[in-house]
Structure 1
Amino acid sequence: MNPTTIGLFFNKLNYFSNKFRIIFFKIKGLQVKKGTRIGKISCEWPNNLFVGSDCDIQNNIDFRIGSPFNKECNITIGDRVFIGRCCEFVCSTKIKIGNDCFIASNITIIDTGHEYAKHIKIKNQPITTAKITIEDDVWIGTSSVILQGITIGKGSIIGAGSVINKSIPEYEIWAGVPARFIKKEYKT
């Protein structure tokens, strides 16, 4: 066999394994639209995961839903979204990703945190939660962390390795730990 034939064989194998994966998760309740490719993901409660059309979800993505019997607790992904390898989504309230977003590899998006009081042990601190919204046409650079209660405005860019602990307006570039404003990006 020549290398082209072997490559075509593995391409077909990947195509059918993707179709099988989507059918498997749909049986468990996943709602996914046409044209979406789903790699090897982890999701214990796919009935609270909604994926739009023509998305590309790479391998080793972990979708964790904290309140699986609460339909309001869900992860919603818009149309034409790319999610790179090894991302982690931790949802206790709601995570919403708009259309045409590019989420690079090793991103953590977590809508959960802890309070901190002086006379209470760390493990006994109350849990806090707040919705995360990533609007349309957002690019999040690799190894970034998006914390609870954040809204990232339409057309914004997050630099690689950033920690987002406050909301970002539309069409701005932010980067750093914690992230800070870099410049306004004007779209024409």
Structure 2
Amino acid sequence: MKKSIPLRIRFKYHKIKESLRISYYKKLGLKAGSGLKLGKIRCKWPNNVLFGSNCEIEDGVLFKTVAPWSGDNMIQLGNDVFVGADCQFNACAKIIIGNDCLIASNTTFVDTSHDNVAGIPINKQACTFETITLEDDVWIGTRCAVLKGVTIGKGSIVGAGSIVNKSIPEGQIWAGVPAKFIRNR
């Protein structure tokens, strides 16, 4: 009969793997404060990613910067930010997340889009970029999409499955496709 590995040994093993993962990304240029909990992420250009202190990033999160040598595009998370599994951060400009934010699993941030001039193939059209900003204390529900140029105000909440294509003022709850005002918090 096969013996199971005690829970405390498995816990230590996972902490060592996490520590090695953090060291690896820091050597590649990732900037992070203390207390980082880092799952198995995907990130080709960690030098354009900044995590504040006490962030928790679950497995499968993608941090994608398109032109890392430009110095203009970056992904920045404040202190005490939680990012759920399988989220995507696609930055051609900037994605800035404030302090104390909660981002549920499978949420996508995209700060770019294509023009749509008739008569020109879509893949030949110019792209436009605009920064996405989440101010402090924002909660984004699962499977949301936050699009270019959006600012979500301090203390606001976005309901699960929403597509946010315009800015949300401070202290409001929005939901839907596209997201619409539901009520004040």
* TM-score past 0.5 threshold: yes
Q: Distance in 2 between matches of 1:157 and 1:2?
A: 46
User: What TM-score, normalized to structure 2?
Assistant: 0.97
Q: CA deviation at 1:2?
A: 7.8
1:38 aligns to 2:38 (yes or no):
yes
Q: Which residue of 2 aligns with 1:147?
A: 147
User: What aligned pairs does 1:1-188 form with structure 2 within 5 A after superposition?
Assistant: 6-185=6-185
Q: CA deviation at 1:72?
A: 2.2
Q: CA deviation at 1:70?
A: 2.0
Identify unmatched segments of 5+ residues in structure 2.
none
Secondary structure at the aligned position of 1:16 is classed as helix
> Do the aligned partners of residues 157 and 2 (structure 1) sit closer, same or farther apart at CA in structure 2, a change above 3 Å counting?
farther
Q: CA deviation at 1:131?
A: 0.4
User: What TM-score, normalized to structure 1?
Assistant: 0.95
Q: What do residues 27-73 of structure 1 show as CA deviations (whole Å, max 9, x unaligned)?
A: 10000111011100010000000000001000000000011012221
Identify unmatched segments of 5+ residues in structure 1.
none
Q: Percent identity?
A: 46
Q: What do residues 125-179 of structure 1 show as CA deviations (whole Å, max 9, x unaligned)?
A: 1111100000000000000000000000000000000000000000000000000
Q: Which one-letter code corresponds to 2:85 in the other structure?
A: R
Q: Distance in 1 between matches of 2:125 and 2:70?
A: 23
Secondary structure at the aligned position of 2:22 is classed as helix
Note the aligned Cα RMSD (angstroms): 1.2
Q: Which one-letter code corresponds to 1:111 in the other structure?
A: D
Q: How many residues align?
A: 184
